[in-house]
Structure 1
Amino acid sequence: MNLIFVFADQWRVGAMGYAKEDPVLTPLMDRFCEESTYCDHAFSTFPVCSPHRASLMTGKYPLSAGFFTNCKKGLSLRLKDEEICVGDVLKKEGYDTAYIGKWHLDEAEQTYCAEPKSGARNWDAYTPPGVRRHGFDYWYSYGTFDKHLSPHYWENTDEMIQIHQWSPEHETDKAIEYLEEKRDKSKPFALYISWNPPHSIYSEVPEEYLKLYDDVKLKNNVRLGGIHHHTGEEAPMTEEEMTLTTKQYYAAISGLDKQFGRIIDYLKENDLYDDTLVILSADHGDMMGSHGLMGKHVWYEESIRIPFVVHIPGNDNRRCSTCIGSQDMMPTILGLLNCPIPDTVEGEDCQRFIKGEEDEERVSFICASPGRADFVEKFKKAGKDPATYGWRGVRTKRYTYVIELGYDVICKPKRYLYDNQQDPEQIHPLDLDTKENKMLARELEAKVVNWMKCQNDGFIDNWSREAAYE
């Protein structure tokens, strides 16, 4: 069986027509959902690009893979050569492997060189052939670059390929070209396609998709004034500005819908659809003004809940409501393809849930650490490990529970408990002074603490000193 794994950056689960949450037009994705297993409790374990991607590739929790933030200028951070990734396994198992689009798992070149020969700037990086590509043979990729209407890529040399075309459209062109011309047709193929939109810059979207959204209303929990949670930076937005940004976000997703439809059409027209495992997913979500926040890095549903739609040839349409996290995706893919799962994997092969079994008690652990380079530097100057601050939590089928130490060297511990069934927009955190809620919080905190112990997470030491329950 072949594999195509398509994932977008900063695409929240509600922003697809099939979810019936945001008013987004995605008819082709909706049809795909009707032919597949729609997982409505899939979560980004660490809702930031590089940590999720590290987990997606290795099957480890992000912190175990060494990721407490993005690969960015000024930090010596990348996916380690010795990590066993999904591409490594699939290549060994005889697959023709390919990666197209955003990678964001290599060190920013400007960390070490002011003017890299590749032309990479800021957080961007050219990943050369070899071990850093972790088993992917066909390569048409870049580190991270947010000018979606004028993207660039590298193949097997450090010569930058500059393009004047919307990046998802161009990457879909390259994916079809790979399927048609570049792959070894004597082998099964495994193709990963990583689209950057709907990630900001939001305005970088073709006009044809923007025209679809003339009458957009903001969600009830959108608060204008937008303070990005983990930076504390004020980003005031008027209602008009927030409405335009929302239109642009939705427009990008409608554009992705068209490109995804092209991929599915190609598979069906070439008799490949019934022999290909196709998965549609995302890195993490986007707050888009909910709770007065923009971006990700927080524990709200708009940030952590992501699409995870799995088409298994021969399987009927179904819905899976068991909690699944980033680290579960790699072993699940390998399990579905009947490939061996490395001993290094910390996630679980969840194919039995996707095929119809449910586990009401299964949970997804979630976390985030200081995200910006200047925050990291601030902690290091204070003699503190930035990876041991931020927040940790757990998402059960019904509840979200979070313990937070913040993003400052001097912090005040906080706890949050949300009933996502009774309060789906998480506007009213539960009162932890009541006996019932305190007992539930204790139970969930014990799960988080045990998970941190298994992870050797230094956060637990800080939390135990600062905020143990009386």
Structure 2
Amino acid sequence: MRKTTLAVFVSAVIGMTGGMGNVLAAEQSANQLNKPNVVIILADDLGYGDLGIYGHPIVKTPNIDKLAQEGVRFSQYYAPAPLCSPSRAGLLTGRTPFRTGIRSWIPTNKNIALGRNEKTIASYLKDQGYDTAMMGKWHLNAGVDRHDQPQAEDAGFDYTLVNAAGFVTSDLDKAKERPRNGVVYPNGFYRNGKALGTVNQISGEFVSQEAINWLNDKKDNKPFFMYVAFTEVHTPLASPKKYLEIYKNYMSEYEKQHPDMFYADWVDKPYRGPGEYYANISYMDEQVGKVLAKIKSMGQEDNTIIIFTSDNGPVTREARKWYELNMAGETDGLRGRKDNLWEGGIRVPAIIKYGQHLHAGTVTDTPVSGLDILPTLAELTHFNLPTDRIIDGESIVPVLEGQTMNRQQPLLFAIDMPFQDDPTDMWALRDGDWKMIFDRNSKPKYLYNLKLDRGETMNQLGKQPVLEQKMIAALARYQSSIENDSLMKARGDKPTPVDWN
């Protein structure tokens, strides 16, 4: 069918031009028209158990639930890392984050950024003739205003609306009185490199509307790649009153009396309850629904690959920093949370929909990773992966088609969090049903059979000597490959620990 359509298209162009000189151009145009659009929607700090479709007993997420019912839902999908910056680097490049120059989250005063010689999904699709755009949280450098570091425009995105690294800053940050009160309207967004100042919309709505506006403004018939990276449900939580009203029964009396108190002033105040967190998820779900509805209204629903996931696990009620107070992320019983290598830190929701091309309502328990997104899109949109760099992910098209996937190497996770009082373990491998966590000296620390021990409570280290040696050797190969990575060497990078001082 596609060959016939292509032949008709080429013949028409030849007829209009009166010769064969434009045959190649006609074929290229036809190929572009046949390529699917790609939309990646990324939530911030959304936990594995934070959605209705993933079992949350309270939160309502009708739009994302419907997306899952129309696509493929993953029960063992892993973010590339348990923190935002490295996870986003891995998702966009298909390379384990340590290769990309990003080993942990990026503070605003650090000289850390995605390597200039890295290529992202946007770069590859732009080379294939796609229009490319991103809206939302970038956090692959130390600030959107850093002219000495690569920005989203340097990573293949033609159009950008991005916020500064880290928090969604607002005018309340600068207020001197305590406690501070008011709506969290962001002031750190930049559109195509130009600062916008304070935006009188909550971040999620501002991002979703920008995505819709960009689609409205598209005048050509080229396929598009759109990366929509919501700031929800990262602190500070900000949601319209209609959603706060829905979950008012899950808010404390103190919160009801002080509904607009800034999150940074909660330290010495009573518990506010989980209602604001629940409201923010449902608010984010509404924004996702707006983007999906726009794609459908364009008649592009069947020709668009839609990927929804989260950058890492949630901030649970186990607050570790002052700005994490009163969060209420759920992991569906998985151990751990954001910033660590337990399942709760890296296993997150993920859904892929591709119109009628995939069997609706499929649920798969095949372990996959965010690193797999790039090679999967390469296969679905028909471009070749580069040969001048290592791509750690593998195509999961067999999984999407309901077939068995024979992964060539274990899944790798790494994070560099060298806190002196409680250093985070640095490495983890998932090989089949088994997961091994290594400390900062690459010494095995835990071994779990996740099929039998979903909660990671029964350490099998020392009981599986053959398997242990296999996984230790696999980590050593990964580490050697990272240390000798060609792109890292070209940049002059050294795999040294992050300096947090």
Alignment correspondent of 1:323: 367
| Aligned residue type for 1:16 | L
Given candidates 337, 344, 369, the residue that maps to 2:381 is: 337
Alignment correspondent of 2:4: none
Gaps of 5+ in 1: 110-119, 218-234, 379-385, 407-411, 463-470
Alignment of 1:238-257 (within 5 A): 241=271, 244=273, 246-257=274-285
Q: Does 1:358 align with 2:404?
A: yes
Given candidates 202, 208, 212, the residue that maps to 2:242 is: 208
CA gap of 1:249–1:301, structure 2 versus 1, over 3 A, is farther
Alignment correspondent of 2:191: 155
Could you tell me how far 1:105 is from its partner in structure 2?
A: 1.2
| 3-state SS of 1:180 partner | helix
Task: Assess if the C-alpha contact under 8 Å between 2:141 and 2:150 holds in 1.
Answer: no
Gaps of 5+ in 2: 1-35, 171-183, 252-265, 325-336, 486-494, 497-501
Larger radius of gyration between Structure 1 and Structure 2: 2
CA gap of 1:248–1:127, structure 2 versus 1, over 3 A, is farther
Alignment of 1:179-198 (within 5 A): 179-181=215-217, 183-198=218-233
Could you tell me how far 1:395 is from its partner in structure 2?
A: 2.5
- CA distance in 2 between counterparts of 1:163 and 1:131 reads 20
Alignment correspondent of 2:254: none
Alignment correspondent of 2:445: 415
Give per-residue Cα distances to partners, 1:144-176, cap 9 Å, x unaligned. Answer: 232483123112343334212111111111111
What is the count of residue pairs matched by the alignment?
403
Alignment correspondent of 2:417: 370
Alignment of 1:252-331 (within 5 A): 252-289=280-317, 296-314=338-356, 315-317=358-360, 318-331=362-375
Seq. identity, %: 24
Alignment of 1:35-46 (within 5 A): 35-46=70-81
Task: Assess if the C-alpha contact under 8 Å between 2:396 and 2:405 holds in 1.
Answer: no
| 3-state SS of 1:141 partner | strand
CA gap of 1:457–1:69, structure 2 versus 1, over 3 A, is farther
CA gap of 1:29–1:126, structure 2 versus 1, over 3 A, is farther
Could you tell me how far 1:236 is from its partner in structure 2?
A: 9.4
- CA distance in 1 between counterparts of 2:432 and 2:314 reads 21
Could you tell me how far 1:71 is from its partner in structure 2?
A: 2.5
| Aligned residue type for 1:332 | T
Task: Assess if the C-alpha contact under 8 Å between 2:368 and 2:396 holds in 1.
Answer: yes
| 3-state SS of 2:426 partner | strand
Q: Does 1:430 align with 2:443?
A: no
Alignment correspondent of 1:177: 213
CA gap of 1:358–1:16, structure 2 versus 1, over 3 A, is farther
Alignment correspondent of 2:20: none
CA gap of 1:42–1:237, structure 2 versus 1, over 3 A, is farther
| 3-state SS of 1:187 partner | coil
Alignment correspondent of 1:94: 129
Question: TM-score normalised to the size of structure 1?
Answer: 0.76
- CA distance in 2 between counterparts of 1:64 and 1:22 reads 39
Given candidates 50, 56, 60, the residue that maps to 2:91 is: 56
- CA distance in 1 between counterparts of 2:248 and 2:147 reads 39
Task: Assess if the C-alpha contact under 8 Å between 1:126 and 1:143 holds in 2.
Answer: no
Alignment correspondent of 1:448: 475
Range moving further from structure 2, 290-299 or 91-100: 290-299
| Aligned residue type for 2:417 | P
| Aligned residue type for 2:137 | K
Could you tell me how far 1:133 is from its partner in structure 2?
A: 2.9
| 3-state SS of 2:405 partner | coil
Give per-residue Cα distances to partners, 1:261-320, cap 9 Å, x unaligned. Answer: 111222222211111111111111114036989761201222101222111122212123
Task: Assess if the C-alpha contact under 8 Å between 1:15 and 1:22 holds in 2.
Answer: no
| 3-state SS of 2:98 partner | coil
Q: Does 1:146 align with 2:174?
A: no
- CA distance in 1 between counterparts of 2:312 and 2:279 reads 18
Give per-residue Cα distances to partners, 1:231-284, cap 9 Å, x unaligned. Answer: xxxx9999x73x72x333322111111111111222222211111111111111
Range moving further from structure 2, 343-352 or 148-157: 148-157
| 3-state SS of 1:340 partner | coil
Alignment correspondent of 2:107: 72
* RMSD of aligned Cα (Å): 3.4
| Aligned residue type for 1:146 | V
Range moving further from structure 2, 171-180 or 294-303: 294-303
| Aligned residue type for 1:286 | P
- CA distance in 1 between counterparts of 2:447 and 2:277 reads 29
CA gap of 1:46–1:158, structure 2 versus 1, over 3 A, is same
Question: TM-score normalised to the size of structure 2?
Answer: 0.72
CA gap of 1:248–1:301, structure 2 versus 1, over 3 A, is farther
- CA distance in 2 between counterparts of 1:158 and 1:128 reads 16
Could you tell me how far 1:355 is from its partner in structure 2?
A: 1.9
| Aligned residue type for 1:329 | I
Given candidates 128, 133, 146, the residue that maps to 2:154 is: 133
| 3-state SS of 1:405 partner | coil
| Aligned residue type for 1:369 | D
Give per-residue Cα distances to partners, 1:346-375, cap 9 Å, x unaligned. Answer: 322222222212237664211111267xx7
Could you tell me how far 1:195 is from its partner in structure 2?
A: 0.4
